Amino acid sequence: MLRPKQTVVTFCIIPQKETELIFLEDKFKRLEKDWRSMILIAHDFFHRWRQVVEGRYGAEEGAALVNLFWEAVGRGTGESYLQRGRDVSDLAQVVQAMARASKVMGETVRVVKDGDEYLLIHDACPWTDSFRDYGAPGQCQAGCDRWFGTAAKTISPKLEVRTDSCLAAGDSTCTRRYSKV
């Protein structure tokens, strides 16, 4: 996928008056609210697509197409990582990037070092609820497994991801274990 060149601009706004600070705080709150709404819209978009595919092709073929979707998303995530010129052998950096992607999607996530491996631990995830709300409880794990696994393999075939626990299965977290092979 072609992506436009990105330029990062850093700036600092120093409010001269308290009213300017309040304006900036209000603007930030509005942007955050809009972003939270966009997350819900993205979930609705995905689930409506998934339902149409399942209705047209049946549950089995629909599930196969959903898996292809998550693989494509994983490739896109991995390619985005590679375009940024990051060190593909730095496991900590790879997992932190996946944590960042998860946070952007509204997930509560943390990274824990475990020997030579890193754990990506989701304490809460809106996908669990949206799959349940759209009539597909517990089906989020297959998509996440595809997404995380494909992203890792796209970044480097020397990376491996294993799912240790899943919120949708009743576990207290979704935990993915990243390691080098």
> How much of the chain is helix, strand and coil, in % rounded to 5?
60, 15, 25
* E-strand stretches of 1-143: 108-114, 117-124
Taken in order of first residue, the domains within the chain and their CATH numbers are: 18-180 (3.30.1380.20)
- What pLDDT was estimated at residue 15? 60
CA 42/CA 51 separation, integer angstroms: 14
Q: Is the predicted pLDDT of residue 5 greater than 70, yes or no?
A: no
Exposed/middle/buried for residue 117 (C-beta within 10 Å: 0-12, 13-18, 19+): middle
pLDDT digits (tens, 9 = 90+) for 125-142: 999 999 999 999 999 999
Q: Which residues pair with 117 in a beta bridge?
A: 114
| Global confidence as pTM | 0.83
Long-range contacts of 5-14 (CB under 8 A, 24+ apart): none
Q: Is the predicted pLDDT of residue 7 greater than 60, yes or no?
A: no
Q: Is the predicted pLDDT of residue 72 greater than 70, yes or no?
A: yes
